[in-house]
Amino acid sequence: MNRNAEHLAGRAAPAVFVVLWSTGFIGTKYALAGAEPLTYLSIRMIAVVSLIAVIAAIARPRWPNLAGVGHSIVAGLLVHGVYLAGTSIAIAHSVPAGLSALIPGLQPILTSTLANRWLGERVTPLQWLGLGLGLGGTLLILHSRSLTGDVGWGWLASACSLIGITIGTLYQKRFCSGIDWRAGNIIQFLAALALFAVGAVLFETRVVNWTTEFVLAVGWLVVVLSIGSIGLLYWLIRHSAATSVASLFYLVPGTTALMAYVLFGEKLDVVSIVGMVICAAAVFLVNRAKV
């Protein structure tokens, strides 16, 4: 790949990531029509591990040492296990797909605070301004979302999901950046599979309705989300500061809200659109500010 192509790919990667990541909430809602959260996630992880195992068998990547395996397990339990379980359980408990996007909408503030202390990344005043604007824009996007339904467990799951993805991305940057993505992801997804399988056995009926919609949704989530967007996220983590990567999550609520409006008829008004514009401005500020 020449330098111009690499430059173009680098500039396009954040936008591609936001779109792909946002489809995860939509795909999850479709998948949950066919199975309970942990059951669906177990099926998804079996497919993901199988696919990456084929890729690894062809590429023959270098496997991490024992310490690297341990770090990969921890990262997998946080980024995939806690985050995906929390998001899926929240949507299953009547939290709308658009509202569930509030989780990544809050992540940049928490990530920046932790990165400032844990990774030694300096967050400039202008970046803090951008992060604050992004939080305000996120709240505007989601200002009138319904809180009805079995939201008690849903919001508890959402809080766990927020903590998992935030700490997980920081942990990934600090301890797993040097691990080959194919070997590392196999370990991470196996750890998540173990968590989901145990949870499904203990708490769910494990009944699956194998409809075309369910199969297509899981297929999309396996290939596009677990392989595509996760690989892209880890690439961005390796090549950017944690604060800059986290700021991209401010664009997810607006993108998800647009998708949910088109597909599910979830509410989208002028105030929400203003929030999307503010979020876009926030990401620009965070990524343009010099650290």
Average the pLDDT over 150-179 and give the result: 83
> Could you tell me the pLDDT band of residue 291, with boundaries at 50, 70 and 90?
very low
**Residue of 250, 241, 22, 230 whose CA lies nearest to 112:** 241
pLDDT of 164 strictly over 50: yes
- What pLDDT, on a 0 to 100 scale, did the predictor assign at position 93? 84
Q: Which residues pair with 35 in a beta bridge?
A: 208
- What pLDDT, on a 0 to 100 scale, did the predictor assign at position 118? 64
pLDDT of 290 strictly over 60: no
- With contact defined as beta carbons under 8 Å apart, do 257 and 266 qualify? yes
Comparing 16-20, 85-89, 127-131, 171-175, which segment has the lowest mean pLDDT? 127-131
Mean pLDDT of the chain: 82
**Residue of 77, 284, 277, 283 whose CA lies nearest to 191:** 77
Average the pLDDT over 85-109 and give the result: 74
- What pLDDT, on a 0 to 100 scale, did the predictor assign at position 150? 60
Q: Which residues pair with 229 in a beta bridge?
A: none
**Residue of 13, 55, 67 whose CA lies nearest to 229:** 13
Query: Which one is predicted more confidently, 77 or 97?
Result: 77
pLDDT of 109 strictly over 80: no
Q: pTM score, two decimals?
A: 0.79
**Residue of 15, 156, 10, 13 whose CA lies nearest to 87:** 156
- What pLDDT, on a 0 to 100 scale, did the predictor assign at position 202? 97
Percentage of the residues of the chain whose pLDDT score is greater than 90: 35
Average the pLDDT over 228-235 and give the result: 82
pLDDT of 119 strictly over 70: no
